A and B are shown apart, each in its own frame.
Chain A
């Protein structure tokens, strides 16, 4: 990859060159910031030649909420609620990342009950997040039914999580040192009922969308991302695994109780949209398997290991920690100075790096393919901008 730095105005106003009479004219199309297929307020400037994309320039900042700056004024326990709002579809995993970073920095040990519940509830949310992605993918490609199916099943998990965490979306449940509340007594029976309900539904998903010829035609060999490029762009999560690299932090650097459960990491071969699609469907199955293994084996114990009123003093030094969210690896960097607020807090968000792969994969394709590519990248724009 060659690195070339140009400003947006330079790209938009290229120097005039002598055209041959037969050459076509290149023009620019602005996609976003308000566009239904960009999942929020992403703006893509497209350099077009007829219907073919020559260049994609993502323009960011339309939902930059300065979360990293705000974190410099907050205590370790208060940062957690901001991370809910970054990648709101895997809010619990984000909570966990910050909590683990603070715990590691302060040397706090948690008990097996806390770790089991964290693992369990994050896997539930991974399923929930993929359900939403599946529904919206269908919507982007013009199939409304999948949207209804995905959201109907998503509501079931939302209900279960709401009972335990008290919120539907921004949960703020996993805290440094433990959990906000204990599990609701209904949690275990309802999760079991959900798994029983959802397994056949997952097969139905496959019949509805995966076996559809139109969908396959639109996804196969579209937006191929080679393994080198995926690594080069820093892609993680299903996007990287679709390109054939079996990197999953749940396997490579196990945290929680992932080292005690059995699951496999689906890996793609081509790196096209179809691989990314198939990997997420398969991940839902694996997550259900993890939940099934854990749901009957939740150990007893306390749900909070620290005094809730205790002041969290971050020791001096830098701490970096990664966990695998539904979209890739989220890294949290904290720099403590011995006070209770961090000197610097940085989030390495999976979506940011995954987004830039579009500048490679969409080139040479059509706009309709770009919609499919952006959709299979599963972007959450507030996590890109933070």
Chain B
């Protein structure tokens, strides 16, 4: 994605990346609703995550190298989360699942506590959209991360901020395209004529 790695990928790196990608140890970090779907996919028997070598869920950050953020992050949780991330050994990867970790999700507007996007606190490698994402989506997100690791994309370059990518985009769609579309949509629809809105509830009439 970045296309400008500062090092050459040797065959030794390749072997190490291959090994890392296939033995991810996630940290059990579920804050809310998304955690249930994470449990459904990671440990329960139907969507068996051990087929992809990422089911050894560890309760302590010292033994884990993959942080699966499942659930809303609020301001009070931000500091402990950063500490957790710092405690994990390098190389460490982060998958953020759910709309909440991408943008605040259902709690974007009018909420005084939610952190709008987990990547404001820690660097995120892969975003998995959904509210909550289906177990299949999370598995796809993990496979995306594995692909990134294997190609050296997420190879630990400490303290270098990477751009997160979104797993499960619609076919033929890129992240930049999507962001542009959302920006255009907001541009077109989010402007409010204050005078008009104050006097007659225009938005209501259009909607209903």
Binding site for B on A (CB under 8 A): 33-36, 40-41, 61-66, 69-70, 72-73, 81-82, 84-85, 88-89, 132, 147-148, 151-152, 154-155, 158, 168-170, 309-311, 381-382
Task: Give Cα A65–Cα B131 distance, bound, in whole angstroms.
Answer: 15
B114 at the A interface (CB under 8 A) = yes
Residue of A41, A66, A168 near B112 (CB, 8 A) is A66
B182 at the A interface (CB under 8 A) = no
Chain B residues in 8 Å Cβ range of A311: 204, 208
Provided the pairs A36-B28, A81-B106, A151-B44 are in contact, do residues A66 and B35 lie with their beta carbons within 8 angstroms? no
- Chain B residue with the shortest CB-CB distance to A35: B59
Ordered by A's residue number, 21 sampled pairs between the chains whose C-beta atoms are within 8 Å are A34-B61, A36-B28, A40-B32, A61-B76, A63-B71, A64-B113, A65-B114, A66-B110, A70-B109, A72-B110, A85-B32, A88-B33, A148-B43, A151-B46, A152-B44, A155-B44, A168-B37, A169-B36, A310-B208, A311-B208, A382-B32
Interface string of B39-73 (1 = CB under 8 A from A): 11001111000000000000101000000000110
Provided the pairs A73-B110, A147-B43 are in contact, do residues A65 and B37 lie with their beta carbons within 8 angstroms? no
Task: A34-B29, A61-B74, A62-B77 given; name 11 further pairs at CB < 8 Å.
Answer: A40-B30, A61-B76, A62-B76, A63-B31, A65-B107, A65-B114, A66-B107, A66-B110, A66-B112, A88-B33, A147-B44
In the assembled complex, the CB of A299 is this many whole angstroms from the nearest CB of chain B, namely 30
Task: Give Cα A151–Cα B37 distance, bound, in whole angstroms.
Answer: 11
Task: Give Cα A152–Cα B46 distance, bound, in whole angstroms.
Answer: 7
Task: Give Cα A35–Cα B27 distance, bound, in whole angstroms.
Answer: 11
Chain A residues in 8 Å Cβ range of B80: 33-34, 62
Contact indicator A382/B33 (Cβ below 8 Å): yes
Provided the pairs A73-B109, A73-B110, A382-B32 are in contact, do residues A41 and B77 lie with their beta carbons within 8 angstroms? yes
Contact indicator B44/A170 (Cβ below 8 Å): no
Residue of A62, A88, A152 near B74 (CB, 8 A) is A62
Provided the pairs A85-B106, A155-B46, A170-B131 are in contact, do residues A66 and B37 lie with their beta carbons within 8 angstroms? no
Provided the pairs A63-B32, A309-B208 are in contact, do residues A170 and B40 lie with their beta carbons within 8 angstroms? no
Contact indicator A41/B31 (Cβ below 8 Å): yes
Chain A residues in 8 Å Cβ range of B45: 148, 151-152
Chain B residues in 8 Å Cβ range of A33: 77, 80
Contact indicator A169/B37 (Cβ below 8 Å): yes
B132 at the A interface (CB under 8 A) = yes
Chain B residues in 8 Å Cβ range of A155: 40, 44, 46
In the assembled complex, the CB of A42 is this many whole angstroms from the nearest CB of chain B, namely 11
Contact indicator A66/B106 (Cβ below 8 Å): no
Chain B residues in 8 Å Cβ range of A66: 107, 110-114
In the assembled complex, the CB of A76 is this many whole angstroms from the nearest CB of chain B, namely 14
Contact indicator B74/A64 (Cβ below 8 Å): yes
Provided the pairs A85-B32, A168-B132 are in contact, do residues A65 and B111 lie with their beta carbons within 8 angstroms? yes
In the assembled complex, the CB of B41 is this many whole angstroms from the nearest CB of chain A, namely 10
- Chain B residue with the shortest CB-CB distance to A152: B45
Contact indicator A148/B44 (Cβ below 8 Å): yes
Contact indicator A88/B107 (Cβ below 8 Å): no
Task: Give Cα A151–Cα B36 distance, bound, in whole angstroms.
Answer: 10
Task: Give Cα A164–Cα B82 distance, bound, in whole angstroms.
Answer: 40
Chain B residues in 8 Å Cβ range of A35: 59
Chain A residues in 8 Å Cβ range of B148: none
Residues 159-205 of B at the A interface (beta carbon under 8 Å) = 204
- Chain B residue with the shortest CB-CB distance to A62: B77
Chain A residues in 8 Å Cβ range of B39: 151
In the assembled complex, the CB of B50 is this many whole angstroms from the nearest CB of chain A, namely 12
Task: Give Cα A382–Cα B100 distance, bound, in whole angstroms.
Answer: 14
In the assembled complex, the CB of B204 is this many whole angstroms from the nearest CB of chain A, namely 7
B143 at the A interface (CB under 8 A) = no
Chain B residues in 8 Å Cβ range of A169: 33, 36-37, 132
Provided the pairs A34-B84, A132-B36 are in contact, do residues A69 and B31 lie with their beta carbons within 8 angstroms? no
- Chain A residue with the shortest CB-CB distance to B114: A65
Chain A residues in 8 Å Cβ range of B37: 168-169
Task: Give Cα A135–Cα B40 distance, bound, in whole angstroms.
Answer: 12
Task: Give Cα A315–Cα B40 distance, bound, in whole angstroms.
Answer: 42
Task: Give Cα A33–Cα B28 distance, bound, in whole angstroms.
Answer: 12
Task: Give Cα A36–Cα B76 distance, bound, in whole angstroms.
Answer: 19
- Chain A residue with the shortest CB-CB distance to B34: A169
